Amino acid sequence: MTGLMRRFRPYMRGEGLVLTGGMTALIAATAMKLLEPWPLKFVVDSVLRVEQPTDAATVIALCAAALIAITAARALFQFLATTVFSLVGGRILTRVRAALFDHVQRLSADFHEKSRAGDITLRLVGDVGMLKDTAVTATLPLLGNILVLTGMIGVMLWLDWRLALVALVPLPLLWWATRRVSARIGQASRAQRKREGAIAATAGEALSGMRAIQALGLEGSVNRMFAGANDRSLTDGVRAGRLSAALERMVDAMVGIATAAILWFGAHAVISGRLTPGEMLVFLTYLKNTFRPVREYAKYSGRLAKAAAAGDRVFDLLDQVPTVRDRPGAVAAPAFQGTVRFHDVGFAYGGGAPVLSGLDLTIPADQRVAVTGPSGIGKSTLLTLLLRLRDPVTGSITIDGTDIGAVTLASLRGQISFVAQEPLLFSTTIAENIALGAGDVTRTRIEEAARLADAHGFIAALPQGYDTLVAERGANFSAGQRQRLAIARAALRPAPLLLLDEPTAGLDSTSEDAVARAIDALSQGRTTLMVTHNLSLAARMDRIILLSDGQLAEDGTHDTLLAQGGRYAAMWRLQQGRGVRDAAAG
């Protein structure tokens, strides 16, 4: 836990004054806790004796009033301490969550391809939330109890050091047992938290693919996968709970032994006159509270171990280093005109077979280029490399003669519009989805972008128009409508380069025509690189490139490539023949 606390220090800047106030309130609450048994001591020593004082009623009244005042003051100071630490803990962990989310967005594509989204979500939401909850419900009470322990030991030593030593004999044994059992609880809790990450990942995958699961009748198989992970998490949780319960019972036994020892030796001290009955009462009261930090640690050990495991998972994610990041000395990119060049570019995924090998390609500014070819040949890889989601293994990529590796990622990607095969839509309004990433734009500009994307018609027909809420993943719109919303978003971005990855995949002919018209309008005056298997869409571009074996196999206009009678011409005849058969069948 100490190492974990050190990791939080950078996020605690600016909280020093508030933390000082919280600690002051906690120390004051501790002082009140130390004073609580003393009014009763005075009553026992001054009033409850053979010869009662003439002012006994006054002493009792004053002691009762003092007890009420002390209790009220302790409650007030404890309230202030809890409130302050809750506020500070919330602020710190809000910063941690924000930093974690920002960091996750900056991690490279290879990390996200190996990770499970549900597990990352659990770290962002569940693990940080657990840290926040534990900071207030477990860590703060333990800190207060440690202060109480320190104060009470001091007072007990002052009252009677010999009796205090008798009371404190079990503490070293308890400390050793606590450390030993806590390590085992921590192992079980880390394993359980890892299992819970797997559960979240499995649930996330199932929920995102529910339509396919139901269509294929896979509910039983998916249930078994989920149940297996769930049962393993239960086993780890039971193990941690059993260890925590055993530690609590050990503490209770030690407290009982220490109390009996104090009763025995304390009674003899009172009989011998070395200790007053009231002081023995203070000793017994303090003894009960002296072991509270150990008892509370035993009580909260499982929760603290889970919090430590959650913290480890959070900082493990923060420690991940992006493989693609700004290079030392990277500068902001100049305003691009849009001439793109791939020079002797080679690339392979994960050390496998080369996808691109010695690729040379130059695209003049404002030229619209379609890239086609068989699946898995490296078409989308061109877009990935140009966006610097990955870096080429060999060669270089330049825009207007500037190596894209020499400029910052933000300044590079800020000058590129990208339309993915699966549009990215968030659960907010249509207007906010279109304006995402464009800064502060007016409704007029949003509508102009929608018109350009041929989306204004279906948006205006909705009861709430541009204020209509988009369902998760855009489920309340057709695939073609979602794609046109993505194109409208790209239209708002004043970028000289436009990249499109299979923009008409899976669309019917009507939606395909609408998207194609939108692409025509969007690509005017922009350097455009579009990956597509749809040769009718490719034919609308200024230039068509066919990739094969990681290199350019054919390059030219649609008419030129047809005239050459090569692979592109064969693919075109095949697609056109299929289209005629489909139309006849329809």
Cβ pair 74, 36 in contact under 8 A: yes
**pLDDT value, residue 254:** 75
Lowest mean pLDDT among 105-114, 319-328, 549-558: 105-114
**Residues facing 419 on adjacent strands:** 500
Average of per-residue pLDDT across 306-322: 84
pLDDT above 70 (res 352): yes
Give the whole-number percent of the chain exceeding pLDDT 90. 27
| pLDDT tens for each residue of 150-195 | 777 787 778 777 877 877 777 777 777 777 776 676 677 667 667 7
One DSSP character per residue, 218-282 reads: -HHHHHHHHHHHHHHHHHHHHHHHHHHHHHHHHHHHHHHHHHHHHHHHHHHHHHHTSS-HHHHHH
85 three-state secondary structure = helix
Instruction: Show Cβ contacts of residue 69 under 8 Å, excluding neighbours closer than 6 positions.
Output: none
Average of per-residue pLDDT across 339-365: 91
340 φ, ψ to 5°? -110, 135
Lowest mean pLDDT among 292-306, 337-351, 429-443: 292-306
| pLDDT tens for each residue of 79-100 | 988 888 888 888 888 888 888 8
CA distance linking residue 347 with residue 356, whole number of Å:
5
Domains of the chain (ranges, CATH numbers): 12-318 (1.20.1560.10), 361-390+404-415+498-586 (3.40.50.300), 424-494 (3.40.50.300)
pLDDT above 50 (res 585): no
CA distance linking residue 46 with residue 511, whole number of Å:
94
348 three-state secondary structure = strand
Average of per-residue pLDDT across 359-388: 93
CA distance linking residue 434 with residue 518, whole number of Å:
14
Cβ pair 544, 557 in contact under 8 A: yes
Q: What mean pLDDT value characterizes the chain? A: 82
**Residues facing 530 on adjacent strands:** 370, 500
pLDDT above 90 (res 539): yes
| pLDDT tens for each residue of 512-525 | 888 898 999 989 99
**pLDDT value, residue 294:** 65
Give the whole-number percent of the chain exceeding pLDDT 70. 84
**pLDDT value, residue 580:** 46
493 three-state secondary structure = coil
**pLDDT value, residue 583:** 44
